[in-house]
């Protein structure tokens, strides 16, 4: 059974922004989806977030798909780094995700997720497909982070015009780019 797990960002919540819409669209396509409530979103701890993803996914396989927003992106990347060689996740969608420490006043909680380079070779070996989606005018995460992520995953970058941080505060309650990308991954 195909399963989609969504991971919100810093100070986020499972049912914020476009996640309820995406869950509804996936349900119409008979795809199981769940937006995870990440522990202490106001004071995130990297190991706790990775553990939460691991506990919910249970057995990684090609029927599992991950969707992260903002801090949910490096959380997924760190989770993928923990998977043993030979594991294979079906795909990951990365929305407005930071990869460098130069963020909004230097929040220490966020920096912990970003304090070491990502092992992109291992990440690509345990996840089949990737899509990177980013607002072309994101005030929180520079577009250079999205370009770097797309380049290192050998994938194209989808830019959303006037999307800002692609969250509810930016008025984004639907994200068809994520749905389209997921359906392509799931149906290949």
Q: Is 165 a catalytic residue?
A: yes
Considering 70, 92, 96, 181, which one is annotated as catalytic? 70
Distance CA 131, CA 85 (A): 22
Q: 113 — phi, psi (to 5°)?
A: -70, -20
Q: Is 47 a catalytic residue?
A: no
Sheet of 64-69: strand order equals 32-36, 3-7, 64-69, 91-95, 130-135, 157-160
Of residues 105, 77, 71, the one with CA closest to residue 92? 77
Tell me the CA distances in angstroms from 40 to 27, 49, 74, 97, 140, one per residue in order: 28, 9, 16, 19, 20
Buried b (16+ CB within 10 A) or exposed e, 70-108: bbbbbbbbbbbeebeeebebbbbbbbbbbbeeebeeeee
Considering 92, 138, 145, 181, which one is annotated as catalytic? 138
Q: Is 122 a catalytic residue?
A: no
Considering 8, 69, 134, 165, which one is annotated as catalytic? 165
Contact 67, 182 (CB under 8 A): yes
Active site residues: 70, 138, 165
């Amino acid at each position: 059974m195909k399963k989609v797990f969504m991971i919100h960002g810093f100070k986020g919540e499972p049912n914020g922004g476009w996640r309820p819409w995406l869950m509804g669209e996936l349900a119409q396509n008979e795809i199981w989806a769940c937006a995870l409530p990440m522990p202490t979103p106001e004071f995130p701890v990297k190991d706790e977030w990775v553990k939460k993803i691991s506990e919910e996914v249970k057995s990684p396989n090609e029927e599992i798909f991950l969707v992260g927003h903002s801090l949910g992106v490096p959380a997924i990347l760190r989770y993928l780094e923990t998977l043993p060689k030979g594991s294979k996740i079906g795909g990951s969608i990365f929305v407005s995700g930071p990869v460098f420490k130069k963020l909004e006043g230097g929040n220490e909680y966020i920096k912990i997720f970003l304090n070491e380079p990502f092992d992109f070779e291992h990440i690509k070996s345990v996840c089949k497909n990737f899509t990177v989606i980013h607002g072309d005018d994101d005030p929180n995460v520079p577009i250079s982070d999205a370009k770097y992520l797309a380049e290192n995953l050998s994938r194209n970058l989808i830019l959303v015009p006037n999307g800002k941080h692609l969250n509810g505060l930016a008025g984004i309650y639907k994200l068809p780019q994520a749905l389209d990308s997921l359906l392509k991954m799931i149906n290949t």
